[in-house]
Structure 1
Amino acid sequence: MFLAGHRGMVGSAIYRQLQEAGYNNIVVRTRSELDLTDQAAVRTFMEQEKPELIILAAARVGGIHSNNTFPAEFIYQNLAMQINIIDQGWKVGCKKLLFLGSSCIYPKFAEQPMRESALLSGSLESTNEPYAIAKIAGIKLCESYNRQYGLDYRSVMPTNLYGQNDNFHLENSHVLPALIRKFHEAKLANAKAVTVWGTGKAMREFLHVDDMANACLHVMELDKEKYQSVTEPMLSHLNVGSGVDVTILELAEMIKKTVGFQGEISWDTSKPDGSPRKLMDSSKLHALGWQPKISLEEGLKQTYQWFIEHQDDFKH
C-alpha cells in the first residue's frame, strides 16, 4: 500500500490508524524523497513499488488568505499530484485507490445540506476556485479511469477538518486552528480583544481528523458491491461530515472558552466570510455503517492541548 501525504494532518491520522488496524506494509515517502508533482519521479517510484492499493491524501492546502495569494500553486500542484499518482498507479496495476477531496468542490450557493449530486450544478466560491477545480478534476479522473479501465478508484469529500498536525500559522491556516492560536496568544499577552475576520454569521461544519481517518479506512475496506450500492458510475464520491454546523461566532466563543481567554471578540467585517454555509449531507456514508465519534467540544480540547505541546513549531 502507498500512502501519499503521510506527514499531513489527514495523512498522518490515516497512517496511525492503518498501523493500529494491523497494516504492516505501508509505503511512504517524504516530500524530499519523492516530489509528487514530478511525473518522471512518480513513474520511477511506482514502477519500483507497484502498490496494489493507494491512498491519495497528499495536497496543497490552506485557508482563504493562502488560496487568494497562491492560486497558481494551488491549482497546478494539486492537479500534478493527482494526475501523476492516479495515472501511474493504473499503469503499474493498482486496481484500488482512495482519493481525498474537499467540500469546496460544491457550488457556493448549493442547497444545504450539500448532497453529492450538487457537484457541477453551479458556480464555485471565488476565493478557493482553483483548488476546488483541481479536486473536482481528481474525482473525475477516478470516475473516468473506473469507466474505461474497470478499476475501483473511490473518492471521499471531507468537510472542514481539524486536529493534531493541523497548520497553526496565522497567515495561511484554516479558520479553526488560526482562532486557537489567536486566542492563545491573546491570553498570554493579556489582550483586551481578539479580532476575527468577517461577520461571524457564516456557518461551517467541522470534523475531527481522527474521525476522517476512520471514515477513510471504513470506505476503503468496503467490498465493491456495497460501495457501489450507494454511488453511481458518474457520481462515485462520498461526503464525510459530522452532520452538525455552527456559526463562526459560535466557534469563536467555543474556542475562547476552551483556551480560557477573558477578553472580548471584535469582528473585522471588511474581510470576507467565504461561503455563507457549508454543511455536508453524509447520509450515504452513514447508510454504509460509519458515524463520527468525537464531538466538536471534545475535539477542540484535544486540539488545543496538542497545540500547546507543539506551539514552538509554529513560531517561525
Structure 2
Amino acid sequence: MASSFDLAGKRVFVAGHRGMVGGALVRRLAREGVELVTASRSEVDLRDQAAVFAWFASAKPQVVFLAAAKVGGIVANNTLRAEFIYDNIAIATNLIHASHVNGAEKLMFLGSSCIYPKLAAQPLREDSMLTGPLEPTNEPYAIAKIAGIKMVEAYRSQYGADFINVMPTNLYGPGDNYHPEYSHVVAALIRRFHEAKLADAPEVVVWGTGTPRREFLYVDDMADACVHLMKTYSDHELVNIGTGEDITIADFARVVAAAVGYQGRIGFDPSRPDGTPRKLLDVSRLAKLGWRATTSLEDGIARAYRAFLQETGQAAA
C-alpha cells in the first residue's frame, strides 16, 4: 500500500550505524534533513533489554531503521550458532518493543534473504517464507530474522503500528567486514585477490564449486531503497530489495579479480560448503513501488575495492 511519510525534521535512529548497512543508511539520510540519533555499542548494548528501554525512553526516536544484527558468512553462521540466534532475537525484540512503547511513528526491520527456504522456487517471492526447510548452515540467523519479521507483523496487526519489513539481498560495499574466516563472500574475495596480487601468487582458490548463483546489491543502493520505502510504503507484506539479477560465484570471482587487478589463475575447492544453490530475489513488488537499483556490479565492486584499500590503509600496488 502506498503512503506518504515525511522524514524531514524527524528524529531518526539508525540501529547498527557502525555496520556496513547502517553506515550506508546514515550516508543516505544526510540528504533527508533528519535529526540523526545513534547509539554506539559502548553506550547501549542492544541485547540488554533494560539498557535499550532506558535509552529509548530518553532519546524518543520518531523513526527507527533496525539494521543492527550479528552477521557473517557461512563459516561464522555455522560456527557461532548460539550467538547468531541469541543476539539477533534479543536485538529484534528489544528494539521493536521499545519503539512501540515509546511511540515511534515508523519502524523498518531489515531481514535477510536467508529467511527463505533452501529449495524455494526461484526467484524468491516474499510469500515463500516458511514454506520449507531453511539452509542448515545459517538456520539460527534465519530463525532470528523470521522472529523479528513476525514480531513486526504482530505489532502492526494488534496495535496498528506503522512497522514494515524489508528483505535485502547479498550486500557489499564500504564498511564491510574483511575478516579472513568470518566475512561474506564479496569482502573475502576482495581481500584474497588483493593479497594474492601483492604476493604475486599464481592462483587463488575460491571456496566451493563456483556453481551457486548469487545476487549482489551495492549497499548504498540498498540504503536508497530503504529510504524510498520508509517514505512511500506502509503495509504488512515484506518487500524484497535486490537487483533481480544473479551471477555464478565463478563469474563473480572473475569480476572481483578484474577490479582488483589480479591476473593469476582462479581455482575452486569443492570440499568447502557451497551453501544454497541459488538465491535470487523477486523484486517485482519493489519495482511496482517505484524503485530499481542503479549501480552496476562492475562499478560497485570497483568502489568496494577502493573502500577496502581506504579502510585497511593499504595501497593498490
Structure 1: which 4+ aligned runs deviate by more than 3 Å?
none
Residues 288-308 of structure 1: CA distance to partner in whole angstroms, max 9, x if unpaired? Answer: 100111000100111111111
Q: Distance in 1 between matches of 2:25 and 2:311?
A: 20
The Cα shift of 1:110 comes to 0.6
Amino acid of the structure 2 residue aligned with 1:304? Y
Equivalent residue for 1:238?
Answer: 239
* Cα deviation digits, residues 156-205 of structure 1 (max 9, x gap): 10000000001111110000110010000000000010011100000000
Q: How does 1:117-196 map to 2 (within 5 A)?
A: 117-196=127-206
TM-score, length basis structure 2: 0.94
Select the residue among 14, 23, 27 that pairs with 1:16: 27
Secondary structure, counterpart of 1:271 in structure 2: coil
Identity over the aligned pairs, expressed in percent? 55
State the 1:94 CA deviation. Answer: 1.5
Aligned equivalents of 2:20, 2:209: Cα separation in 1: 28
1:54-133 paired onto structure 2 within 5 Å: 54-133=64-143
Whole-angstrom CA distance in 1 between matches of 2:311 and 2:100: 39
- Counterparts of 1:164 and 1:298 in 2: how far apart (Å)? 13
In structure 2, the partner of 1:287 is: 288
The residue number in structure 2 matching 1:207 is 217
The letter of the residue matching 1:261 is: Y
| Matched AA of 1:38 | D
Return closer, same or farther for 1:108/1:223 CA change in 2, 3 Å cut-off. closer
Q: Please give the secondary structure, in 2, of the residue aligned with 1:239.
A: strand
CA distance in 1, matches of 2:195, 2:219: 24
SS of the residue corresponding to residue 299 of structure 1 reads: helix
Shift of 1:22: 1.8
Per-residue deviation, residues 234-256 of structure 1 (Å, max 9, x unmatched): xx210000111000000011111
- RMSD (CA atoms): 1.0
Distance across 1 between alignment mates of 2:248 and 2:58: 48
Of 2, 13, 25, the match for 1:2: 13
Where do 5+ consecutive residues of structure 2 fail to align?
1-11
Deviation, structure 1 residue 95: 3.3
1:221 corresponding residue in structure 2: 231
- Opposite residue 249 of structure 1, the aligned amino acid is A
1:312 offset after TM fit, Å? 3.8
Matched with 1:253 is: 254
**What is the number of residues matched between the two proteins?**
303
What are the ranges of 5 or more consecutive residues in structure 1 without an aligned counterpart?
A: none
| Partners of 2:73 and 2:50 in 1: CA distance | 30
2: CA distance, partners of 1:180 / 1:53: 35
Aligned-residue offset at 1:85:
0.4
C-alpha distance in structure 2 between counterparts of 1:265 and 1:259, whole Å: 13
The alignment's TM-score, normalised by the length of structure 1, stands at 0.94
Once residues 20 and 31 of structure 2 are traced to their aligned partners in structure 1, the CA distance between those partners, rounded to angstroms, is 17
- Deviation, structure 1 residue 2: 1.4
**How far did 1:21 drift?**
2.2
